[in-house]
Amino acid sequence: MIDEATEIEPVIKVNGLTRRFGNLTAVDDISFQVAKGEIFGFLGPNGAGKTTTIRMLTGVIEPTSGSATIQGHDIRKESILSREHIAVVPEQANVYLDLSAWRNLMLMAELYGVPRDRRISEGKRLLEVLGLTNKKDSKARELSKGLKQRLMLCAALVTDPEVLFLDEPTSGLDVQSARLIRKIVRELNADGLTVFLTTHNMVEAGDICSRVAIINSGHIAAIDTPEKLRSMASKRHYVEAVFKNQAPPVEKLKSLPGVNKLESDQSIFRLYTTTPGSVATALAMLTAGLGLELDQLNTRKPSLEDVFLYYIGNGGEK
């Protein structure tokens, strides 16, 4: 496991956190820290332990063992104090369906003791920012999934949290809602909000997260910036080639010096290697020597999806 320690005092500290459900270990002895002002991505496949981790950190369920603090407050011994600093947007919007969007927002603010004048002014501002002003008086049950998720984000933000937990916030949403939520998260983070984001969307994590933890089967496989994770998965660098008319024989491509693996998708060939420059040169020479032509030749760094597959498969650290 790789965890780059931060110089800033951590907002969240997790040490050996474990959760079992009978004979099933959902989260197994995980440790990490989240610095103030980060967007920290918790990336993993369905069932990896992402939601269970959030539910422990936010006080919904008790850890079986291990410890964690939020803003210095132990989540078990000082659960009320630790929850004072946070807001949570769950994957499934749990709004009150028979209340209007506005009443849902005001109820959450009242529960958190937000003064009346402030909750009204901030509620109006948040509805405007998230494109819900024209739905202010609509009952929550009349809203689409995307609009309900926006309403949940409004209800979380009206409490003025220091740490925002987002559990798969754009899963299953329309493109417009997903883009808007990502935009708002970036803006909030730029203003100093710490964000803990669980997702299985590799593009989303790569776009907005300052650091990413990859969790698989309850274990953390790696933690670092998206760029450093990409560079560490050097075996997933590749040369991408498209040939005009005819490609060289597959065996000749596989036998090029430095090629670890060959994949093809119709007319696109990917030659995986730790030395993409030399493989690209050798490929160009082979093609010319056979009297063939290249249409495209590019060297590619691994995407975060490639990195994800590397770390949860046989090639990554465990």
Question: Crossing angle of helices 175-190/145-157, nearest 10°?
Answer: 10
Share of the chain above pLDDT 70, in %: 94
* pLDDT tens, position by position, 160-189: 999 999 998 888 888 888 888 899 999 999
Query: What is the pLDDT at residue 301?
Result: 79
- pTM across the whole model: 0.77
CATH number of 1-85+162-229+303-310: 3.40.50.300
CA distance 107 to 137: 14
How many Cβ atoms from other residues are within 10 Å of residue 303's Cβ?
Answer: 16
* pLDDT tens, position by position, 63-120: 999 999 999 999 999 999 999 889 999 887 788 999 999 999 999 999 888 999 999 9
Share of the chain above pLDDT 90, in %: 68
CATH number of 238-300: 3.30.70
Query: What is the pLDDT at residue 7?
Result: 54
